[in-house]
Amino acid sequence: MQNYEITIVGAGLAGITAARRLKKQGRDRILLVDKSTSVGGRLATRRVANGKADHGAQFFTVRTDELNEDVEDWLEKGWIRHWYGEDYPRYTAVDGMNRLAKQLSEGFDTLLQSKVVEIKRQDGFYKLIDDQGKTWKSEKVLLTMPVPQVVQLMKDSQLNVPVETMKQLKSIAFEPTYVGIFHFQHATSLPGSGQVDQDLPDGMERIVDHQKKEISDDVIVSIYMTGDWSRRHYGEDYVMGLMKEKAASYLDFDDIQSEQLKRWRYAQANKVIRSPYLDLTGEGTLVCAGDAFLRENDSAGRTRFESAYLSGKDAAAFLSW
């Protein structure tokens, strides 16, 4: 049975950032596991014809010196660029947000299409079991998936997580988000940066033209609905129709070649906790982190790229040997 120093469940930004910090601290038997076919989680980019669309996070902002230091490095490497906003710069990945996740996770031992379904405590180790029946041992475990999925995993595992800690986990709540992805034949009339987030119809958060965002050859446009609207219409089959109706004054839907709908069940947390990670068993060996875990002094107060980054970093520091 393979044996790791640490297994990080979830190769989104929190998991990848934790892995990078642990590596810097000298750990070399790190395993990143993800149930998906790619790393990145909600840093997600979809190919559409000869183009692509970021259908998860579209940009990120920077409030801390820690992220700023990495941002300087990523800018120098040509991985990200300033997209728009002068007072509060919005950065985006030059080749799509998922590409940034791939660049950041390069060189790590990564197991994809592996959903961890149970964790057992055995002889001072953790034994992890995935949905393919694969098992391995790990001294420590960091869980970075959206918290409702952590709660489920804890329910399916025989671990000593105190009731109070489970209560804290269950207090975190996520909202869904619907994203419509449209392939147009001709250029849109959206502004130069390709994004609109002001004065939109009720329920609509943002429209992004990915050709104008400079990550797509074809004209691929995404419409992001708000968490509240997405929750109210969750699971309904008329969502795409409503979305197009609302966006009709911005886009010419007679010009579309294709359309697809992405439904994020856990998009952004609307109830977070003010602690950058949780030590689940009090032993310092099984820890939960991710974008819903905010530092006490977090000035934005909401789940986002930077909160995932900081949570991953702080959890890794806590887990260090």
Ligand X SMILES: Cc1cc2nc3c(=O)[nH]c(=O)nc-3n(C[C@H](O)[C@H](O)[C@H](O)COP(=O)(O)OP(=O)(O)OC[C@H]3O[C@@H](n4cnc5c(N)ncnc54)[C@H](O)[C@@H]3O)c2cc1C
Task: Point out which residues bind ligand X (CB under 6 A).
Answer: 9-15, 33-36, 41-43, 56-60, 115-116, 144-146, 149, 153, 177, 179, 224, 264, 267-268, 290-291, 303-305, 308
Q: Which is nearer to ligand X, 36 or 320 (by Cβ)?
A: 36
Q: Which of residues 34 and 209 has its CB atom nearest to ligand X in the complex?
A: 34
DSSP 8-state code for residue 201: P
DSSP conformation class of 156: H
Which residue type sits at 79?
A: W
Using CA atoms, how far residue 240 sits from 34, 198, 250, in Å, is 29, 21, 15
Nearer to ligand X, 134 or 255 (CB): 134
Supply the minimum distance, in Å, between the C-beta of residue 185 and ligand X. Answer: 25
CA within 13 Å, CB half, 220: 25
Residue type, 300: A
Q: Measured from the CB of residue 254, what is the shortest distance to ligand X in angstroms?
A: 26
For residue 178, the surrounding DSSP H or E stretch is strand 173-184
Please report how close the Cβ of residue 50 comes to ligand X at its closest, in angstroms. Answer: 23
Question: To the nearest whole angstrom, how small is the minimum distance from the Cβ of residue 249 to ligand X?
Answer: 22
Nearer to ligand X, 95 or 255 (CB): 95
Nearer to ligand X, 32 or 251 (CB): 32
Length of the chain: 321
Q: How far is the CB of 194 from ligand X (least distance, A)?
A: 13
Write out the E strands in 194-245.
195-196, 204-209, 219-225
